[in-house]
Amino acid sequence: MSIRLNPDLLPSLLASIQDSKQSETIATLQLSSGRSVNQLSDNPVAAASLVQNHDQAAGDGQFLQNLSTLQSKFQVADSTLGNVVSALTRALSLGVEGANGTLTAADRQAIAGEVQGLVNQTVSLANTTYQGAFLFAGTKVSTQPFTLDPATNAVTYNGNSATTSVELSNGDSISANLPGDQLFQNASGSVTGALQDLYTALTTGANIPGSVTEVQNALNQVNQQRVFYGNNLNQISSSESFLNQDKLNLSQQENTLVGADLATAAANFAQAQVANQATLNATARVLGLPTLLDFLK
């Protein structure tokens, strides 16, 4: 039986050093990053799946940002309508008070003055903005939707009746606004019209009960419209829950795809260090061996 000896060990030893250093580097990267895939060559299939994972997570993040903005906008609008409801409720009380036949013209005029204040307040609420855009102007968000003529007490709508929608997640969208004419000048109950008529009735003393009925209709109409915001806020909350759960699932999938086994990485690091040191020691001994020239001296 013959034994073959490699007459030139140095190239093999250098290759072993390179291999052990590479193993040590890979283990170090896994320990520092917590990931088993730190570059495409580590696992091309997992890296491709990771790109898709990140794209979907980024999409979820954008949808969540849209939801947050829309949620805040709806909350401001709903709160504004809550103040309108309060104004109309006060107007009802004033109308009932003004219908009392024992009041003098001066008494009714004083009540009418408070109703005029409610007209001004309601127009101001109807011109509420959010992040610089008018909430109740339809799609003409840069145009003040309502103007009050102080001479005639007439309220004019300057917006439009258009609506917009916002995508919540893939395949789902939600209406993003209610136009001001639908909210404040609805044929089923006009907020501005009812308050104007109540003011006129109090100043003239004519048909106060009829104007009180108008205010009640306007109040009912606004309460019905507010359901839009309540329903949409609930839908937003459901979409947020779905998207947050999807992001959590994607994070877990990413960990499954590229998460490193830290215990294994630590063991590989230690083994690579031992192998590297052993190879270096062997290389040192090889480099220290005498050559044929040494024997011929």
Report pLDDT digits (tens) over 99-155. 998 899 999 999 999 999 999 999 999 999 999 999 999 999 999 999 999 989 899
Q: Is residue 222 situated within a structural domain?
A: yes
The pLDDT of 277-293, averaged and rounded, is 58
- Of all residues in the chain, the percent with pLDDT exceeding 70 is 68
What radius of gyration do the chain's Cα atoms show? Answer: 39
Classified as helix, coil or strand, 217 is helix
Q: Is residue 204 situated within a structural domain?
A: yes
Total domains, the chain: 1
The pLDDT of 60-81, averaged and rounded, is 90
Q: Is residue 55 situated within a structural domain?
A: no
Report pLDDT digits (tens) over 161-198. 999 998 877 677 889 999 999 999 999 999 999 999 99
The pLDDT of 58-80, averaged and rounded, is 88
pLDDT of residue 292: 45
What does the mean pLDDT of the chain come to?
Answer: 81
Residue 210 has pLDDT above 90, yes or no: yes
Q: Is residue 206 situated within a structural domain?
A: yes
CATH number, domain of 120, equals 1.20.1330.10
Q: Is residue 163 situated within a structural domain?
A: yes
Q: Is residue 134 situated within a structural domain?
A: yes
Q: Is residue 58 situated within a structural domain?
A: no
pLDDT grade, residue 295 (50/70/90)? very low
Question: Residue 203 CB: number of other CB atoms within 10 A?
Answer: 17
Residue 237 has pLDDT above 50, yes or no: yes
Q: Is residue 255 situated within a structural domain?
A: no
- Check: CB of residue 37 under 8 Å from CB of residue 257: yes
Q: What is the DSSP string of 109-164?
A: HHHHHHHHHHHHHHHHHHT-EETTEETTSTT-TTS--EEE-TTT--EEE-S-S---
Domain that holds residue 213: 72-240
